[in-house]
Structure 1
Amino acid sequence: MSTPFYVSPQQAMADRAEYARKGIARGRSVVVLQYTDGVLFVAENPSRALHKVSEIYDRIAFAAVGKYNEFENLRIGGVRYADLRGYTYDRNDVTARGLANVYAQTLGTIFSSAGEKPYEVELIVAEVGAAPEDDQIYRLPHDGSIVDEHGSVAVGGNADQISSYLDQRHRDGMTLAEALKLAVDSLNRDNNGGKERTLTAEQLEVAVLDRTRPQQRKFKRILGRQLSRLLEEGTTPPSAEENSAEPSED
């Protein structure tokens, strides 16, 4: 009888982690950052049918990179968890922290199981609070760990380079247009070593958790003319804005 090939547990886990990271890095990036009225989500995503950013519950949204079928299953599970908990107890009992813990258990179990491959996904769960200091952003890598993020975070693609760019330039109190410009500028840098590029509105998926919305559900997608206007507003020089006589739109 031949001796079975032995791989140490440490090496096996390292190989699984490397496999998942390579799959995640092949995906287009997603950026999440705080602005004065809430949390902004910006993804490089030309598809209008397959979303990387979605609403989970009243104040909670979800963003993901990696394999679509895998993170879509996780999104659906999160919606079911939130609906059941809100119905059974109270809507205020549904929190981003609780949802992140559920996702962490699921991802951790799959990652440590020898019977199936690890999920090639990285998730962000965010909740908008009554004030900026109450906002919550959690990043969940493929292994089920939870990272409590503040200010800004990027996943997928060249996430390290994008995160460094965001950390140097993000500041508290940014307007939506300023935050959107920063997010798009950071995504423009994820060019896989090619020439510098400029992403257009048609190549972006943009959504916000807006704390100023009067309704209970704070999630809103930014599309079409509104997105184009915000992109133009973010690139307008301050002197031109000051000299403009046109009234601002709501």
Structure 2
Amino acid sequence: MKSAPSSSTEDYVKVIYSFTEWQDKPITSSQLAARLGVANSSVSEMVRKLKDQGLVDHQPYGAVRLTDAGRELALRMVRRHRLLETFLVNELGYRWDEVHDEAEHLEHAVSDLFVERLAAKLGHPGRDPHGDPIPSASGAVERPDAHRLSELDAGHEGRITRISDDNPDLLRYLATEHIALDSDVVVVRRKPFGGPLVVRIREGGAERDFDVADEVADSLWVESGRPHAGCTLGQ
């Protein structure tokens, strides 16, 4: 009988998948080490093991890419993680900046049966509290056609559909400013001399302008389209 993958294996394939989920550029060994908080030598050894297991493709000094088997395992782990995050927010009252680390611990302990019961309990949600799509049990992913706010030109209108959860401090900051998923947004202009991006947030007919620093603009993903009235702000 084939042994179950280790928690380290599960963590590695999940990070590799997550890095490339919203961009085409593959992850390098050094980037993988930085995201996992481990030494480059540890990553090199683990990548060799993953390659031997048929989970990644990797050539010396090249990028690390998931094989079909690696992607299948990664999607299973991503599904677990994001369902757990959703459960923690919706059912246990966690804030959206608290759930990532908690889900990291829980995802290795729960069974496939538990995950499917959890999905049913939550009504089979399509996204987690940060807007990341939750893969289906079969591995299908419905990702919105969204782009980073920092990449959009003045006059662009849309809806915030994903907020990166890499930085809990940034999530707390956005919550205090009442900027959340489904916030309607219009790009007004870029202030001169490398200044911040000015965006307009619309809420139920009211509008307010907001200066967005580059780090924040890089963390917000906008789905194009004319904003709708009556959106709900805050988390």
TM-score by length of 1: 0.25
TM-score by length of 2: 0.26
**Larger relative contact order, structure 1 or 2 (CA cutoff 8 Å, min sep 6):** 1
